């Protein structure tokens, strides 16, 4: 029994398959398991709280976990340790979420591509057909994550408070969210996962995409992401490699991404909203 996990800061999707790719259970969802943000105790508690996972733990032979926050050694080793303690009979591999995006978006195992994640957080890497290369080490949502859900959530709140929203958009924003200052500050500074809290506001953009303000906001964020992240790989882009995208923000912003990509002269490739389905195909091919 193989357990494949697409782990974000907001949520984790777990799929259980056999070695032919047949699904042995419905997709399991838990809260996000970013080990760079959560403590070992909290990670363990979230997994143990899932009755579905606990019912399967003695039958799992392989765990392939791809997650936000797993790109540096200390958080990755912590999560590996937790998973090995829970799934005692399983071989456990933990890799960064960027590798999930690579394996889900490329058309063949040795394809070369620049691969971007634009979900709750954001990142960008180059896959040379064998290895993954990152030119910028992510410092997380506070300092980086341009064009991510938490970036756009922060921009929407700032524009609301700085009175930069058109009146109709402002009224719609007030109607959808609790925007009292103390409520926002409580969630940002007193609650876990402030990045996921901010990302919840990003849905508003895609419910109001007919607004020029929203279109400009999306493109502004993606221009920043392109300049700071994608264009780190100018040489590779000039050789014609495509730029693939994984994550819900990218999936729903395809029109704006194509427009900005044309401005900067790079080739847009595939879009995948949820990498986990592509991961199933990958692991069946390579089991």
Q: Has residue 286 got a pLDDT over 80?
A: no
Parent domain of 74: 2-97+276-285
User: For residue 286, what are the CA distances in angstroms to 13, 20, 96, 130, 272?
Assistant: 21, 11, 18, 14, 20
Please give the full DSSP string across 41-110, using - where no structure is assigned. HHHHHHHHT-HHHHHHTTT--EEEEEETT-SSHHHHHHHHHHHHHHSTTSEEEEEEHHHHHHHHH-SSTT
Flag whether 23 is in a domain: yes
Is there a domain that residue 253 lies in?
no
Which 8-state DSSP code applies to residue 200? G
CATH number at residue 82: 3.30.420.40
The one-character DSSP state at 264 is H
Nearest to 281 by CA among 56, 107, 50: 107
pLDDT tens digit string along 70-116?
A: 988 999 999 999 999 999 999 999 998 888 889 999 988 789 999 99
Note whether residue 82 is domain-resident.
yes
Gap between the Cα atoms of 191 and 229, Å rounded: 29
Which residues face 3 on adjacent strands?
A: 16, 63
Residue 201 has pLDDT above 90, yes or no: yes
Average pLDDT over residues 16-39: 90
Whether the Cβ atoms of residue 215 and residue 209 lie closer than 8 Å to each other: yes
Sorted by sequence, the CB contacts under 8 Å of residue 57 that are 6+ apart come out as 86, 87, 88
139 contacts: CB under 8 Å, gap ≥ 6: none
Query: In this prediction, what percent of the chain has a pLDDT beyond 90?
Result: 76
The domain total for the chain is 1
User: Does 67 fall in a domain?
Assistant: yes
Residue 40 lies in a domain: yes
Q: What is the pLDDT of residue 138?
A: 82
Q: Which two tokens stand for residue 41?
A: 């105790």
Establish if 28 belongs to a structural domain: yes
Is 227 a member of any domain? Answer: no
Q: In this predicted structure, what is the pLDDT of residue 280?
A: 84
With 0-12 / 13-18 / 19 or more C-beta atoms within 10 angstroms meaning exposed / middle / buried, residue 273 is: middle
In a domain, residue 70? The reply is yes
**pLDDT tier for residue 1 given thresholds of 50, 70 and 90:** very high
Q: Residue holding tokens 């490329």?
A: 106
Task: Report whether pLDDT(15) > 90.
Answer: yes
221-279 pLDDT, tens digit per residue, is 999 999 999 999 999 999 999 999 999 999 999 999 999 999 999 999 999 998 887 88
Q: What residues are paired with 28 via a beta bridge?
A: 14
């Amino acid at each position: 029994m193989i357990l494949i996990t697409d782990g974000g800061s907001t949520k984790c999707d777990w799929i259980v398959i056999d070695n032919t790719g047949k699904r042995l259970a419905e997709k399991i969802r838990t809260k996000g398991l970013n080990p760079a943000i959560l403590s070992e105790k909290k990670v363990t508690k979230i997994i143990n709280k899932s009755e579905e996972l606990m019912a399967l733990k003695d039958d799992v032979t392989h765990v392939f976990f791809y997650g936000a926050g797993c790109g540096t050694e200390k958080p990755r080793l912590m999560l590996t340790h937790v998973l090995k303690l829970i799934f005692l009979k399983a071989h456990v591999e933990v890799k960064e979420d960027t590798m999930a995006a690579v394996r889900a978006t490329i058309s063949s195992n040795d394809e070369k591509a620049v691969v971007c994640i634009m979900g709750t957080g954001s990142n960008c890497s180059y896959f040379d057909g064998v290895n993954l290369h990152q030119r910028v080490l992510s410092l997380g949502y506070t300092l980086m994550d341009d064009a991510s859900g938490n970036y756009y959530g922060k921009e929407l709140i700032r524009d609301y408070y700085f009175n930069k929203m058109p009146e109709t958009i402002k009224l719609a924003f007030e109607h959808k969210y609790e925007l009292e200052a103390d409520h926002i500050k409580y969630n940002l500074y007193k609650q876990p996962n402030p990045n996921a809290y901010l990302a919840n506001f990003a849905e508003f953009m895609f419910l109001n995409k007919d607004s020029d303000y929203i279109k400009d906001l999306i493109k502004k964020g993606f221009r920043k992401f392109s300049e700071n992240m994608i264009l780190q790989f100018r040489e590779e882009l000039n050789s014609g490699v495509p730029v693939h995208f994984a994550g819900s923000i990218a999936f729903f912003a395809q029109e704006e991404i194509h427009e900005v990509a044309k401005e900067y002269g790079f080739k847009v490739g595939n879009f995948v909203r949820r990498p986990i389905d592509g991961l199933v195909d990958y692991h069946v091919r390579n089991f």
